[in-house]
């Protein structure tokens, strides 16, 4: 059983000051926040695209006594793509607290006294710093029940970006994505299939993937990669999602799913519907599965 490190909690006296520090020093911005209605405490999770690791900044109302977040007895380490550039920023911020030029690293101190080690992004750190795609694939599930809470806009942006980064035949990118947030439209979309799309009625968003087959004869594969990448990024970001087949299916009113969706979303005639990704914050944590070792029988060595 391998535990996956996902965040480290730090207590902060001045939340705004700490948010400003981490954004300027390490490009970490707010991903989500939580706390009771009475405002007695707030937890803000911050992170960036460099890894899935997050810091949880915890603020407690009324606290004035300094926190002990480990001081110089423990530290968090960050790699940066350009050590000199990072050093210049940190020098200007006045937060460098220790340097070890011989080892090519230095430390900065956050507003609450936590030491952060700054390292160059060398090849030997890459296996630690990279996002674990296989772990994300292991955890991916189709999620069809949503809590009704809105998807944080940064997470929706990440999901869209994952789709836009997709490989495509000859790099032609024949696809277009239509992001639907309007409740009435989502409810109508839920009837684009006789069955299999009902979850859209409770979804917070749908991303409809269409393509122009004239632009590339690999349009179906290209759209499927966009879908797979967005589905995976959603799962890795803690957003529930489910793939809804668009081609060769019928709407509840007897029209083809493609015609139904094209009319509803005013899609130009040249485009074909490939599929739809329904998205919402999960009602409950998805049940992850153990890897099915029996699947290895599907892999053939040298000949079928």
Q: How far is the CB of 108 from ligand FMN (least distance, A)?
A: 42
Residue placing its CB nearer to ligand FMN in the complex, 90 or 249: 249
d(CA 156, CA 161): 9
Q: How far is the CB of 144 from ligand FMN (least distance, A)?
A: 6
Alpha helices in the chain (DSSP H): 15-26, 83-93, 126-129, 133-139, 153-164, 183-189, 219-236, 257-265
- The residues binding ligand FMN (CB under 6 A) are 141-142, 144, 196, 242-245
Residue placing its CB nearer to ligand FMN in the complex, 174 or 282: 282
Q: Is 153 left (phi over 0), alpha (psi -120 to 50) or beta?
A: alpha
Cβ atoms within 10 Å of 255's Cβ, excluding its own: 14
Q: How far is the CB of 172 from ligand FMN (least distance, A)?
A: 21
DSSP 177-241: EEEE--HHHHHHHTTSSSSS-GGGGG-SEEEEEEE-TTT-TTHHHHHHHHHHHHHHHHHHTT-EE
Residue placing its CB nearer to ligand FMN in the complex, 48 or 191: 191
Residue placing its CB nearer to ligand FMN in the complex, 12 or 242: 242
Spell out the residues 6+ positions from residue 11 whose beta carbon is closer than 8 angstroms to its own. 57, 58, 59, 60, 63, 67, 69, 112
Q: How many residues does the chain have?
A: 304
- Residue linked to tokens 């739809």: 276
Q: How far is the CB of 279 from ligand FMN (least distance, A)?
A: 13
d(CA 247, CA 229): 19
d(CA 202, CA 147): 8
Structure tokens at 40: 């007695």
Q: How far is the CB of 270 from ligand FMN (least distance, A)?
A: 23
117 is known as an active-site residue: yes
Cβ burial, residue 273 (10 Å; 0-12/13-18/19+) = buried
Choosing from 117, 139, 176, 221, the catalytic residue is 117
Sign of CA dihedral 99, 100, 106, 107: negative
Q: How far is the CB of 156 from ligand FMN (least distance, A)?
A: 20
d(CA 204, CA 58): 28
Catalytic residues: 117
């Amino acid at each position: 059983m391998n535990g996956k490190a996902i965040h480290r909690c730090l207590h902060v006296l001045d939340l705004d000051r700490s948010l400003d520090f981490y954004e300027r020093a390490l490009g970490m911005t707010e991903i989500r926040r939580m706390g009771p209605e009475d405002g007695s405490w707030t937890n803000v999770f911050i992170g960036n695209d460099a890894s899935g690791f997050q810091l949880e900044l915890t603020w407690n109302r009324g606290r004035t006594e300094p926190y002990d977040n480990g001081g110089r007895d423990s530290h968090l380490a960050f790699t940066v793509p350009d050590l000199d550039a990072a050093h210049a920023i940190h020098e200007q911020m006045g937060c460098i607290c220790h340097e070890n030029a011989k080892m090519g690293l230095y430390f900065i101190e956050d507003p609450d006294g936590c030491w952060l080690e700054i390292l160059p992004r060398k090849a030997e750190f890459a296996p630690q710093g990279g996002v674990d795609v296989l772990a994300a694939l292991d955890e991916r599930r189709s999620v069809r029940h949503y809590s009704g809470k809105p998807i944080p806009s940064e997470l929706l942006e990440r999901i869209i970006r994952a789709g836009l980064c997709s490989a495509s035949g000859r790099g032609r990118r024949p696809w277009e994505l239509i992001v639907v947030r309007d409740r009435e439209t989502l409810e109508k979309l839920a009837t684009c299939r006789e069955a299999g799309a009902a979850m859209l009625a409770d979804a917070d968003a749908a991303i409809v993937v269409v393509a122009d087959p004239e632009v590339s004869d690999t349009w179906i594969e290209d759209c499927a990669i966009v879908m797979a990448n967005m589905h995976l990024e959603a799962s890795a970001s803690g957003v529930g999602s489910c793939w809804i087949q668009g081609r060769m299916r019928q709407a509840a009113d007897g029209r083809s799913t493609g015609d139904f969706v094209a009319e509803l979303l005013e899609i130009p005639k040249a485009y074909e519907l490939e599929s739809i990704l329904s998205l919402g914050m999960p009602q409950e944590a998805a049940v992850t599965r153990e890897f099915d070792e029996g699947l290895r029988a599907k892999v053939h060595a040298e000949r079928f």
